[in-house]
Amino acid sequence: MTYITKPQLHHPKLAENALGYTRRDYEGSVSTLCAGCGHDSISAAIIQACYELDLPPHRIAKLSGIGCSSKTPDYFLGNSHGFNTVHGRMPSVLTGANLANRDLIYLGVSGDGDSASIGLGQFAHSIRRGVNMLYIVENNGVYGLTKGQFSATSDKGSKSKKGVVNHDAGIDLVSLALQMGATFVARSFSGDKAQLVPLIKAALSHRGAAFIDCVSPCVQFNNHPGSTKSYDYVREHNEAVNRMDLIPHRDAITVDYAPGETVPVTQHDGSVLQLHKLAAHYDPSDRIGALAYLQSRQALGEIVTGLLFLDPEARDLHENLDTVSAPLNTLTERELTPGSAALARLNASLR
Amino acid sequence: MQRTSTEGPDYFHKVVDCQWACPAHTPVPEYIRLIAEGRYTDAYMVNWKSNVFPGILGRTCDRPCEPACRRGRVEDEPVAICRLKRVAADNKEDIADRLPVPVAVSNGKRIALVGAGPASLTVARDLAPLGYELTLFDGETKAGGMIRSQIPRFRLPEEVIDEEVGYITGLGMEVRLGERVGSLKALMDEGYDAVFVGSGAPRGRDLDLPGRQEAAANIHIGIDWLSNVSFEHVNSIGKRVIVLGGGNTAMDCCRTSRRLGGEDVKVIVRSGFEEMKASAWEKEDAIHEDIPILNFLVPKEFTHQDGKLTGVVFEKVRPEYDDKGRRKLVHAGEPDQHFECDDVLIAVGQENAFPWIERDIGIAFDEWGMPQINPLTFQSTAPSVFFGGDAAFGPKNIIWAVAHGHDAAISIDKHCNGEDVAVRPAPMTTLISQKMGIHEWSYDNDPANDGRYKVPQRDKADALKDVRLEVELGFAREMAYRETQRCLNCDVQTVFAEPACIECDACVDICPTDCITFTENGDEDDLRARLKAPATNVEQALYVSDVLPTGRVMVKDEDVCLHCGLCAERCPTGAWDMQKFLLEMTHAGGSCR
């Protein structure tokens, strides 16, 4: 564990974003995770993405469950709202918070234990309800806090640090999210920020349930030969189907790609995703095709990464419930108890 | 780029900006840590070994280390390195038992040292413990040279000079004071094995302007006048004083005048304020003592009445720059200005004077009357005559004189042993891991966020009463400790070992100053532009690794590294380590031969 706080002194040319904040302003306290943990890289990517999106830190709520991954919200966005909830229950608490205040930007941070074991049901339901959030799973395929047992996402046939073979089938959260109707689904790797940061930015800009499965090597217990979530294995088997730039709606699109190679996708908020195809026939607007492609590549031991599915016209929970546009927590007694005349009108309409 | 070679003394030395900038290459962070630990005597001895005059330099050094200090690049001001040196001197215990013991048996070689200033004293300090029979000559009645004659007592008390000069003369040598050497030929004829000339640049430049002769009684050459004040031949000056010149001597002249009766003291300079040669802090100190500095005024004439100076006429000029950026001062088109005064001090530079060196004894001089000296060995064209300090290459300062002295001493020692003076061993370096345990280092890796502390000064009204009363009070221990914590420990190097790196990015993520990037290799200009933070300071090296398994290289920009060790703390495999680089300059003695 690092005992000193990260020095306040920073690079003299550290740039400011549109809000006048530097990237350092989006940091949290120094990580207490093991040195080299992939989760720390994901934290750094979240910091970079929020900085680049000019998000006001006090308008972000970060929620997590229990586990190494769920500790990480302490290590980024030190000036945002945070809720470290019960094991596996982050999706429900996030759903509740989102219902109460739809104006905040919701970031759910979880791990493979928190989301694929104890919280699998919670995960599935928050996705199928279309809660407007970014749900990010820091997936290391191992129970690091309890010293290296297989988790529910460990691949069948992979080996533990002590050489034990995993005989249980691994849960693929990406496939599950696709089946549950997630409208933004991506997979990435903690060791590839060039891919991860734009994905986080796009997911944060997406309205609806956005899910990122981020493979994150556990340096301590799952970074050995025989693991399918080690730095070396992921680098060797990473098959990126596309690369992406997010162009905020206020910026003019200046990058010009050869036709057919780049697909621009406009999101709800007007931002444009520029998708550069890497796999020739992969179509991220085809949910069924995506599922089939993922299965076929997985059977070959490949890890498909990139933006796997996107529905830019997605609806979210509030739209489905037809709630008022003002956050519910701002409604006062006057709006909530409109008086006997309003009640009479309502009763009359039901007669 | 090629993989950075850190072998040899230079790469890591250059990272220690302060030590690299110091002419004597004093290991600055090393002694600052000792001060922080309260080991003042140890800190003093580190300095004494390297720069010979810690107490004197801790008050008067030109401090090339401070503009170089990395702290000044990550926040507003550098560490107060110079004044911390004084803390070591002020708080040390008796060092008598740490000094070299005077040698009982001579090695049979006799060396004459001309001038008892910092250069000669350094040569003496280095050679005396080796058994040389040294004879030190000086025209003044006390040793110290310009340290004693030109630096005013309110900046440097006499006791400090006596103490530190005494450490050297106490090593056993013949000190012949009040004996100005009038002929080098005669001196050489006395059969010395070598002669070292450390006679300084003793002649102050004059201004040959109309009225100079007529008003001579009230026009003084700055360094001569300062010397007369130091040796108490002069103890007053007129109420209105004009000091001509913009260097440190001018600053000493004006501040001394304020203490000897000058009430209306002005410094008037040809150049602009920024281009003045005086150090920024010396200008500050002068202004603090209510001395205005007037710029772009060129003296034209001394006015006088009845044989007495009445003032100086100046032409107002403005700077004009040609295509090559060279400055020319041109008439500003304003009427000349007359400033009244009672005395003028001329401090427009000083020069060498060697009337006592015969031109037919084998010492070649150049067209400007300077001896031809080998800049590495300090040997003149006469093999047994060596020069150093201001006498070698014109006026510089104490710390350069010390550096020259060390190098000349090596040459003299080799010369007297029949060896080639050009063959000189490299400095001794060590590189040692500071790892004590998991995330524990043997240095304090947490830099303080404090701004630079200001050295407390004596109340101005009191300070101006007495020319011998020291103005600066020095850091108290507590404040000194806090200032030491601003030091970034640049000598504790970030050392990268490629085979261990798994490219997990932990170091990139944690680095507070965005120094580290993993990227595709390229040429230097290309790489500098592509780093996480552009590396625009080309004076500072890029530390580039071999190609890593993903085909990328690690590039670290040394420019604003805080040496906080967080890269090494967050590294899971020990690919980064914090290793202390200690460089000890070669001094005369056994290992050199």
Chain A hits for B560, CB-CB cut-off 8 Å, are 11-12
Query: From CA B195, how far away is CA B197, in angstroms rounded?
Result: 6
Per DSSP bridges, beta strands A133-139 and A142-143 are unpaired
Q: Extract the tokens encoding B247.
A: 């260097």
**Which strands, in side-by-side order, build the sheet including B219-221?**
B219-221, B343-346, B240-244, B264-268, B293-294
The SS3 assignment for A150 reads strand
Q: Extract the tokens encoding A14.
A: 């550290």
pLDDT of residue A185: 97
The chain-wide mean pLDDT, for chain B, equals 95
pLDDT at B167 over 50: yes
Instruction: Compute the half-sphere exposure of residue B518: CA atoms within 13 Å on the CB side of its CA.
Output: 22
Cβ–Cβ < 8 Å for A180, A104? no
Cβ–Cβ < 8 Å for A47, A26? yes
Each residue's pLDDT tens digit, B345-374: 999 999 998 999 999 999 999 998 899 999
- Nearest by CB to residue B502, choosing from A14, A40, A231, is A231
Give this prediction's pTM. Answer: 0.91
pLDDT of residue B350: 92
Q: Is A2 on the interface with B (CB under 8 A)?
A: yes
Q: Is B516 on the interface with A (CB under 8 A)?
A: no
Q: Is A4 on the interface with B (CB under 8 A)?
A: yes
- How remote is the C-alpha of A264 from its chain's centroid? 21
DSSP class of residue A261 equals: T
Query: From CA A232, how far away is CA A226, in angstroms rounded?
Result: 10
Per-residue pLDDT of chain A (351 residues; tens, 9 = 90+): 678 889 999 999 999 999 999 999 999 999 999 999 999 999 999 999 999 999 999 999 999 999 999 999 999 999 999 999 999 999 999 999 999 999 999 999 999 999 999 999 999 999 999 999 999 999 999 999 999 999 999 999 999 999 999 999 999 999 999 999 999 999 999 999 999 999 999 999 999 999 999 999 999 999 999 999 999 999 999 999 888 888 776 555 444 445 457 777 887 777 888 878 788 778 899 999 999 999 999 999 999 999 999 998 899 999 999 999 999 999 999 999 989 999 999 999 999
Q: What's chain B's Rg over C-alpha atoms?
A: 26
- Chain A nearest CA to B484, separation (Å): 16
Whole-number percent of chain B with pLDDT over 90: 94
- How remote is the C-alpha of A302 from its chain's centroid? 21
Q: Cβ of A14 and B572 within 8 Å? A: no
| Beta bridge partner(s), residue B403 | none
Write the burial class of residue A116 (CB in 10 Å: 0-12 exposed, 13-18 middle, 19+ buried). buried
- The H or E element spanning position B519 is strand B516-519
- Chain B nearest CA to A206, separation (Å): 26
Q: Cβ of B566 and A4 within 8 Å? A: yes
Q: Which of A79, A152, A81, A85 is nearest to A113 (CA)?
A: A152
Q: Which of B370, B393, B372, B394 is nearest to B383 (CA)?
A: B372
Q: Is A214 on the interface with B (CB under 8 A)?
A: no
Each residue's pLDDT tens digit, A285-309: 999 999 999 999 999 999 999 999 9
Which residues have C-beta within 8 Å of that of residue A152, sequence separation ≥ 6? Answer: A112, A113, A116, A117, A120, A168, A170, A171
Q: Cβ of A191 and B504 within 8 Å? A: yes
Which residues have C-beta within 8 Å of that of residue B284, sequence separation ≥ 6? Answer: none
pLDDT at B187 over 60: yes
Each residue's pLDDT tens digit, B282-301: 999 999 999 999 999 999 99
Each residue's pLDDT tens digit, B99-153: 999 998 999 999 999 999 999 999 999 999 999 999 999 999 999 999 999 999 9
CA distances from B83 to A34, B55, B86, B148 (A): 42, 9, 5, 20
Taking only residues 539 to 568 of chain B, the set having a beta carbon closer than 8 angstroms to any beta carbon of chain A reads: 549-550, 560, 562, 564, 566
Each residue's pLDDT tens digit, B141-155: 999 999 999 999 999
Backbone phi and psi for residue B330, each to the nearest 5 degrees, phi listed first: -120, 155
Each residue's pLDDT tens digit, B511-530: 999 999 999 999 999 999 99
Query: From CA B336, how far away is CA B334, in angstroms rounded?
Result: 6
Q: Give which of B488, B509, B550 to mutate to test A binding, by max A Cβ within 10 Å.
A: B509
Which residues have C-beta within 8 Å of that of residue B273, sequence separation ≥ 6? Answer: B283, B293, B295
Helix axes B118-127, B398-416, angle to 10 degrees: 40
pLDDT of residue A255: 47
Global ipTM: 0.90
Q: Is B506 on the interface with A (CB under 8 A)?
A: yes
- The H or E element spanning position B493 is strand B492-496
| Beta strand residue intervals within B174-326, DSSP E | 174-177, 194-197, 203-204, 219-221, 240-244, 264-268, 293-294, 297-305, 308-321
**DSSP per-residue string spanning B186-200:** HHHHTT-SEEEE---
Q: Extract the tokens encoding B220.
A: 């003084």
Query: From CA A139, how far away is CA A152, in angstroms rounded?
Result: 10
Q: Give which of B441, B516, B532, B570 to mutate to test A binding, by max A Cβ within 10 Å.
A: B570
More confident residue, B16 or A247: B16
Q: What's chain A's Rg over C-alpha atoms?
A: 21
Q: Is A44 on the interface with B (CB under 8 A)?
A: yes
DSSP class of residue B398 equals: H
Q: Cβ of A11 and B560 within 8 Å? A: yes
Query: Amino acid identity of A248?
Result: P
CA distances from A236 to A196, A219, A239, B319 (A): 17, 17, 9, 65
Reported residue count of chain A is 351
Q: Is A43 on the interface with B (CB under 8 A)?
A: yes
Q: How many CB atoms lie within 10 A of CB A210?
A: 30
Q: Which of B499, B468, B138, B439 is nearest to A31 (CA)?
A: B439
Cβ–Cβ < 8 Å for B389, B120? yes
Number of CB pairs < 8 Å for A and B?
Answer: 100
